[in-house]
Structures are given as C-alpha cells and as structure tokens.
Amino acid sequence: MPDRIAYIFFETPVGTCGIAWSATGIAGVQLPEASEEKTRARLLRRFPSAVIEEPGSDVSAAIVAIRALLSGEPADLAFIGLDESGLGDFDRRVYAIARTVPPGETLTYSEIAKRLGDPNAARAVGRSLGANPWPIVVPCHRVLGADGKVGGFSAHGGAETKIRMLGIEKARTDDRPALFEDLPLAIKPRR
C-alpha cells in the first residue's frame, strides 16, 4: 500500500460514495453502504491512515465520470489511473479485462477466464472480482455467472445492488428482448 492516501466522499444518484487516492492513482472506491456513516467507516477501515483532502484535477475528473455513469450516462471510466500497488499479477489481469467491458454490456466469469488463457479459472476470477478495490471503475458488476445468472456482488445490497447498477446502465443480461423492443416503430411508447 502506498505511503500517503487521501480521500473524499461525494454524492451520486445511488448514495454517498467514497474515493481514496495516492500519488500513483486511485487506491480505492467505496460504493454506498446502508448509511453514510457505514460508508465512511468501511472506507476508513480499508485506509486507516488516510487524510481527507480536496481532490486534484485527475480525481475530480474521476468523480465527475463516476457520477455520470451512476446517472445512467454511458461514461467511459477507462481514463482513470489506478494505484495497483499490492496486487498480484492474476488480479491485475482480471481487472484489466473487466475494464474493457463497456456500460450496457456484460461478460461471464468463464469468458474472463478464457481471455486469461485458463478456462478453468472462473472461480478464481470470481474471488478476484469479489475483492475488487475499485467497484464501478473496475466494473465487476458487469460480470455475470454462467447462463446470465447475476452471481454475487460484494457491495452493500449484494446481487440487488448489482442488478440496480446493470439497470442504470441498461445492460442486457440475456437474449430476451426488452419490453417494447419487438414492437413496430409506429406503436412503440414515446420516451
């Protein structure tokens, strides 16, 4: 872990989030817990020596993009630099693949394992994503179980939160048409 970590909390459409950073990049992101106090406590458990600080331009840009994505805009978070100190090679590779999944799309744990060159590593991929220090920036919510099953999610609310985030992004989790998708243009509801 880097020597100096700073953090700040910010409001989003899904609740109060936290972000911690070092000179190297974003060290962690905290999604909302059951209360703002619990969100603060969880982030500070991860970074006990962190100091609250106003963010610089890189972190401010990351916050703007996270807010946009959680508002339903198709924001690309790939520009956000991460502090990967302390990560093993496997986790780095899993997170790099997960970051390639755009908003509104999904992969399975098995598909990531295959991209890693080890089709039998789906469970290890799941464990890695379960320990993801940067949820939303490394979009582990876009990774599903076999046959489109939601799978787990380590953020507060578990699978319900994962489904909510996928819904915000208008992600498809199966091949079934969305409501009104098959209707002729003349009878589709106005949006």
Please name every residue paired with 10 in a beta bridge, in sequence order, or none if there are none.
Answer: 17
Q: Which of 140, 144, 155, 165 is catalytic?
A: 140
Give the torsion sign (CA, 52, 57, 60, 61): negative
Residue 7 φ then ψ, to 5°: -150, 165
Q: Is 138 helix (H, G, I), strand (E, B) or coil?
A: strand
What angle is formed at CA 151 by the lines to CA 105 and CA 175, rounded to 5 degrees? 40
d(CA 3, CA 190): 54
Q: Is 115 exposed, middle or buried (0-12, 13-18, 19+ CB in 10 A)?
A: middle
Query: Is 17 tagged catalytic?
Result: no
Are 82 and 26 contacting, i.e. CB atoms less than 8 angstroms apart?
yes
Give the torsion sign (CA, 60, 64, 66, 70): positive
Give the residue numbers annotated as catalytic, written as ranges. Answer: 140
